[in-house]
Amino acid sequence: MSSPLNVAVVGAGYWGPNLARNFAASTDWRLAAICDLDETRAQLLARQVGHVDVHTDLTELLARPDIDAIAVATPARTHHGVVLAALLAGKHVLVEKPLADSREHAVEMVRAAESRGLTLMADHTYCYTPAVLKIRELIAEGALGDLLFIDSVRINLGLVQPDVDVFWDLAPHDLSIIDFILPGGLRPTEVSAQGADPLGAGKSCIGYLTVPLDNGAIAHVHVNWLSPTKIRSMVIGGTKRTLVWDDLNPQQRISVYDRGVDLAQQSVDGGDRAAATVSYRLGDTWSPALPEHEALGAMAAEFAASIREGRSARTDGLAGIRVLSVLEATTRSLDAGGALVGVDGSDERPALAGAGAAR
């Protein structure tokens, strides 16, 4: 059994306590410190997780030779500076979503980590839930067949954020999940987005994002701050089966339907779709059993394993870049009235040779 790695959590606000609690409970980690500009808030969290050290100065924290890694839970606009400072100090880094406030900053962070042989991991928490891990497994083994569509809905009566629109607030969850379950990751060449601001908040409060995928498939993401009903669902259709994930149904989060449409081509040359005969499959429905574990606990274990094994994490910095690339294209599409716009760096590996080679 390897000795625990020492980690410090930077940021004691909304997400930091969740990270601190899971690191404190993990056998892979020893939570060594909490760092926050607000000393009172940091002290309170430190007492809750076992009276660990408290810092209000990041430079002082990063100078500690006993700290192996830091987990960053600060506002996205600060991620670039905090992460680069940590990497320069030789620390492995975990960053809550989104990885950075821009693709350019994220690329710089990934390059800095790769050049120093350090792990940079995106805390795409949903990717470590039992449901999403099972979805990834089913797609990888071909249980759904070739993918035809992904339809994701994330709506609720939520807080209108002061600094970002509904796409940047909610869609990173859906995009990170889609990136995780698609073989090879999410690499669209173009996207289109439509947003609405019926409140006059100065930003989109309702949004619809369309992402063309390979081989004519399509993904659609619906996000909304104004819905009185909370829905967290994803429908993934394939040529063999269709999967429905309802994250708010703990008794049956995943249902797999052996139902679909088949086109029996009648024309000789195979090119006339109008001549095709439509038939419907009406097979069984089943729900796979899922293990019970907290996603953040699994994420903490993956962070430690990636460091010890010298490999990229499952949700590495490149995954964070792919999500940011789509988010930035989404903003450009909104500015262009919903037009289809190109996605920067749809395949960023050549520019980041060696970074995150393993997924």
Same domain, 266 and 141: yes
Range 277-305 average pLDDT: 88
State the pTM of this model: 0.90
Within a domain: residue 63? yes
Query: 């509904």: which residue's tokens?
Result: 166
pLDDT at 58 over 60: yes
Q: pLDDT tens digits, residue range 66-95?
A: 999 999 999 999 999 999 999 999 999 999
- pLDDT tens figures, 122-172: 999 999 999 999 999 999 999 999 999 999 999 999 888 888 999 999 999
Task: Please tell me whether residues 203 and 299 are part of one structural domain.
Answer: no
Q: How many CA atoms lie within 13 A of 173 on its CB side?
A: 17
- If asked whether residues 254 and 144 sit together in one domain, one would say yes
What is the pLDDT at residue 140? 97
Residue 50 lies in a domain: yes
CATH number at residue 34: 3.40.50.720
Residues 300 and 253 in one domain: no
In this prediction, residues 203-223 reach a mean pLDDT of 96
Question: Domain for residue 116, yes or no?
Answer: yes
Q: What is the mean pLDDT of residues 16-40?
A: 97
Residues 183 and 245 in one domain: yes
Select from 286, 305, 338 the last residue of a domain.
Answer: 286
> Which pLDDT belongs to residue 30?
97
- What pLDDT, in 10s, does the model give residues 264-289? 544 445 555 555 666 777 778 999 99
Residue 23 in any domain: the answer is: yes
pLDDT at 111 over 60: yes
List CB contacts of 11: < 8 A, sequence separation 6 or more.
35, 36, 72, 73, 74
| Residues 40 and 159 placed together within one structural domain of the fold | no
Mean pLDDT on 202-211:
97
pLDDT > 70 fraction of the chain, expressed in percent and rounded: 91
- From first CA to last CA, the distance across the chain in angstroms is 24
Within a domain: 330: no
* 84 and 140 co-located in one domain: no
Same domain, 153 and 265: yes
Residue 358 counted as domain residue: no
- Residue 12 is given by DSSP the state -
* pLDDT for position 358: 39
Judged against a pLDDT cut of 70, whether residue 355 lies above it is answered with no
Which residues, 6 or more positions from 167, have their beta carbon under 8 angstroms from its beta carbon? 193, 195, 204, 207, 209, 223, 327, 330, 331, 334
Same domain for 84 and 209?
no
Do 209 and 160 lie in a common domain? yes
Q: Find the domain containing 248 and state its range.
A: 127-286
Give mean pLDDT, residues 340-352.
68
DSSP per residue, 214-276:
GGG-EEEEEEESEEEEEEEEEEEEESS-EEEEETT-TT-SEEEEEEEEEEE--SSSS--GGGP
Residue 106 has pLDDT above 90, yes or no: yes
The answer to whether position 348 is within a domain reads no
pLDDT band, residue 263 (cuts 50/70/90):
low
Residue 112 maps to a domain: yes
- How far apart, in whole angstroms, are the C-alpha atoms of residue 23 and residue 293? 14
Q: Which two tokens stand for residue 114?
A: 């790769």
Cis peptide upstream of residue 98 (ω within 30 degrees of 0)? yes
Confidence at 353, pLDDT banded by 50, 70, 90 = very low
Q: Looking at residue 133, which CATH number applies to its domain? A: 3.30.360.10
> Are residues 178 and 68 both part of a single domain?
no
**pLDDT score for 270:** 52
What is the structure's pLDDT at 162? 85
Return the closest-CA partner of residue 66 out of 114, 30, 39: 30
**% of the chain with per-residue pLDDT over 90:** 84
User: How many Å apart are CA 121 and CA 192, to the nearest integer?
Assistant: 28
Same domain, 279 and 131: yes
Q: Tally the domains of the chain.
A: 2
